[in-house]
Every structure is written in structure tokens, then in C-alpha cells.
Amino acid sequence: MVLRARGRYSCLMNAAPTHLPLRHVLLALAVVVVWGTNFVVIRLALDELPPLLFATLRFCFALLPAAFFIRRPQVSWMSLAAYGVLIGFGQFGLLYIAMNGFISPGLASLVVQSQVFFTIGLAMVFSGERVRPFQIIALVMATVGIGIIIEHGDSSATPLGLGLVLIAAASWGAGNHIAKASGATNMLGFVVWASLFSIPPLLIGSLVMEGWPAITGAIAQAGPEAWAAVLWQSVGNTMFGYAAWGWLLARHPAAAITPMAMLVPVFGMSASALLLGEALPVWKLAAAALVIGGLALNVLWPLAARLPGYPWRRGAAS
């Protein structure tokens, strides 16, 4: 029994590096902690800054002054432009609008994680990655969870807010695919230079939807907390978070990395409840359990399939 247990442990340890090295797991966890707690920061900053102006400032500080010190990566301008527009306006512009009174921070952190399924779907279409039965089950679980949110929608999740966050999630998934397909290895440079293309659509959107008086007034009256939130968005979330996430996606299959984001709503909902007093009724917890459970299935099933003694599962992970 001891020899058999040692054999199983040795086999598992030898298999782990071929799946995802521990240091890469820890890097992904650091990213999701930053992203999860960031929803509270966003909500607080929106009390002082209009959403599209807030997003514009975020990417301005992500671009400058870093672009003077970080060389442009050897990728096409088209890749930089596509990523910049998708992540800038498509993800964050719409997410900020949604969080400006149309969906609560906790639920936003949960629903936006449907990006996992958009990312995997795009990887199947364009990269030939195969869909597996457990991934279909995971998608159904997450879809039921989002359905519960739709059914119980109130001021914490309006139809408009939910729709905007789903589009933001799709944009995030598409951005993940662009980053991986670009072949970029210097992801910090990729994120910094892609911000050049995030700014114009966000600024135009702010001018059209929010207006010049609102822009100048918000900048003049913004306090230290608002500017600290902008800096945190630029450095913590954009430069660190997306650079690290893209770096991981460039080195591992999408299905191995993106499900790690299942922890974002755990931190997001917890931080929102503790710091903002967001209510967590039974239906929210049930929806969270289904969505996070579906995301967890994408991570745990392939790992379980690697364990010795479960040959019937290996086919599901191959």
C-alpha cells in the first residue's frame, strides 16, 4: 500500500509540470486576486469619474510614460490594434458603463467570467482545440447560473447591465485569442503598446456620451482616491494583470489558463460584501455556485484525469 501510494504521488508530481508549473499557477492566482478586489475600486472611482473617461485615463497611464521605456513587441500593428480596441472599449468601456448603476460589483465580477467559455470557443474555432464533454457540462452549469441572475434581476443586475457585462466578457475572450495568436512573448510591451489603440475609441465615446463639460468638471474635481484608482487600474490591472495573463496564455493552452479566473468572483463578491455592503441572498449564492462550479470543472477534471488508477478518465483529458 505504501509503495503504491508513493508510486501514485511520484507519478502525479512528474505529470504536473507538463500541465501547469507551480510558479505559473501562483502567477495566475496573483492576477485573479488583483482582478477580483478591483471591482470594489472601480465602483468607488465611478462616484467621481464618468465611466468612459475613467477607462480613457486608465489606458492613458498604461501607455505613458511606459511606452518611452518599453520597446514595441515584434507583432503586427493589426494585432495591437485589435487587442487594444477589444480590451479597452469592448471589455472595460462597457464594464465601467454597466457598473455605473446597472449591475453590482459582486455580480459583475461573476458574470464577466463567462469570458472563459468565449475564450475556449474561439480557441476551438481558430486553433483547432477540441471541445470535451466535461467542458460542455461546465458551460451548461454556468449558463444556468447566469439564467438565475436574469430571473431574479433587480437593481443589482438590470438587463442592460447584464447584457453589457456579457459583451465585455466576449470582448475579453476575443482579446485572449488575439494575444495568443499574435505570438507575442513580451506581453508587458504588448499590453502597453496596445493601449495606444484603446484610447481613441474610449475618448470619442466619452466626448459623445458624457460630454466635454462632464469631462473637464470630473477631472477638476477628482480627489486623491479617484486618481489612486486610475493608477491602480493602469499599473495593477492593465500592466501587471493583462501582461501576466497574456504571458501565460502564450505558453499554455487556453483551456488550462482561463479557468483559473474562476477565483475572480470569489474575491470580487467577498470584497463587495465586506467593503460595500452588497447583499448576498440565496439566489446570488446559488448562481455563484453554478458559475464557479462550471469554471472549476474545467480545471479539476483534467487534473483528476491525470491521477493513476482512473484510466477511464484519461480519454476525457486527452
What DSSP letter does each residue of 217-275 carry, written as one string? Answer: HHHHH--HHHHHHHHIIIIIIIIIIIHHHHHHHTTS-HHHHGGGGGGHHHHHHHHHHHH
Quick: pLDDT tens for 210-243: 999 999 999 999 999 999 999 988 888 877 887 7
Place of cell 484603446: 198
Question: Is pLDDT of 3 > 90?
Answer: no
Residue 123: pLDDT band by 50, 70, 90 thresholds?
confident
Q: What size, in residues, is the chain?
A: 318
Contact 108, 268 (CB under 8 A): yes
Q: Which of 90, 94, 258, 85 is nearest to 162 (CA)?
A: 94
Average the pLDDT over 142-159 and give the result: 80
Alpha helices of the chain — where are they, by DSSP H?
2-19, 22-45, 51-63, 77-85, 94-99, 105-111, 115-127, 133-151, 159-182, 187-209, 212-221, 224-231, 243-249, 254-257, 264-276, 282-305, 311-317
pLDDT: which is higher, 219 or 260 = 219
Average the pLDDT over 148-173 and give the result: 86
- Cα dihedral value 236, 240, 245, 251, nearest 10: -170
pLDDT: which is higher, 11 or 144 = 144
Q: Which amino acid is at 244?
A: A
pLDDT: which is higher, 37 or 54 = 54
pLDDT: which is higher, 261 or 165 = 165
Q: Which of 305, 298, 302, 300 is nearest to 258 (CA)?
A: 298
C-alpha grid cell for residue 43?
465602483
Q: Which amino acid is at 99?
A: M
Contact 96, 54 (CB under 8 A): yes
Residues 6+ apart with CB under 8 A from 274: none
Question: Is pLDDT of 135 > 70?
Answer: yes
Burial class (CB within 10 angstroms; exposed 0-12, middle 13-18, buried 19+) of 213:
exposed
Beta bridge partners of 157: 103
Question: Is pLDDT of 134 > 50?
Answer: yes
Residue 167: pLDDT band by 50, 70, 90 thresholds?
very high
pLDDT: which is higher, 242 or 81 = 81
Prediction pTM value = 0.80
Average the pLDDT over 176-181 and give the result: 86
- φ/ψ region of 68 (left if φ > 0, alpha if ψ in -120 to 50, else beta) reads alpha
Contact 300, 118 (CB under 8 A): no
Residue 15: pLDDT band by 50, 70, 90 thresholds?
very low
